[in-house]
Structures are given as structure tokens and as C-alpha cells.
């Protein structure tokens, strides 16, 4: 699956892969990015999840404006399943 990212989505993805871990990544930016990959929805428990080809990935509670370290790691893992890494983002 090839996903085209605009400048805003690319900047958000770069924040996700930033080292040391970026603690200022906002949910609205990540949700916009995740929506490029599949059907983004909020679960009944208040978690953001995206469904891609029948498989659902959950990213945790959205009670705060920014993602926690664990949530950033979940988003990183999700993006890697689609071939996005810090290196591929810099090469594009």
C-alpha cells in the first residue's frame, strides 16, 4: 500500500520518529495522519483506532491533548507496518 503524505502529514510523522522522543505531538495532528491509512474512529472507550483492510489498530485514550510515550511508540509501530521510517521520510 503506497500512501501519499502532504507536508503537514510528513511533519507529523517526522515528530513521531524524532529522537529523543517528542512530547509535544497533538492528537488532532496524529488523527489527521492516521486517517490517510484507513477508517479512523473513536471507540466506545474513548480510544482512537484506525481500521485498515479489516484489521483495527488502537492507539489509546485521547483524554489529553498530547500523546503519551506509549502512544507515540504505538503510532511508530503502525507507521512502520506501512514502510514509513525516519529514513524513508527524509529520503522523500
Write the pLDDT tens digit of every residue in 24-43: 999 999 999 999 999 999 88
Residue 78, in any domain of the structure: yes
- Residue found by looking up cell 471507540 in the block: 43
Host domain of residue 20: 7-64+71-91
Residue 1, in any domain of the structure: no
Residue 36, in any domain of the structure: yes
CA distances from 39 to 30, 34, 66 (A): 13, 8, 21
Residue 82, in any domain of the structure: yes
Residue 39 buriedness (CB in 10 A; 0-12 / 13-18 / 19+): exposed
Tens of each residue's pLDDT in the chain, 92 residues: 567 889 999 999 999 999 898 889 999 999 999 999 999 998 888 888 999 999 999 998 877 789 999 999 999 999 999 889 888 887 76
| Residue 84, C-alpha cell as written in the block | 514509513
Amino acid at each position: 500500500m503506497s500512501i501519499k503524505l502532504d507536508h503537514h502529514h510528513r511533519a507529523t510523522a517526522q515528530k513521531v520518529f524524532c529522537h529523543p522522543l517528542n512530547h509535544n505531538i497533538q492528537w488532532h495532528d496524529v488523527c489527521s495522519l492516521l486517517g490517510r491509512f484507513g477508517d479512523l474512529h473513536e471507540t466506545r472507550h474513548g480510544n482512537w483506532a484506525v481500521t485498515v483492510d479489516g484489521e483495527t489498530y488502537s492507539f489509546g485514550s485521547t483524554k489529553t491533548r498530547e500523546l503519551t510515550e506509549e502512544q507515540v511508540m504505538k503510532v511508530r509501530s503502525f507507521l512502520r507496518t506501512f514502510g514509513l521510517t525516519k529514513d524513508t521520510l527524509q529520503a522523500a
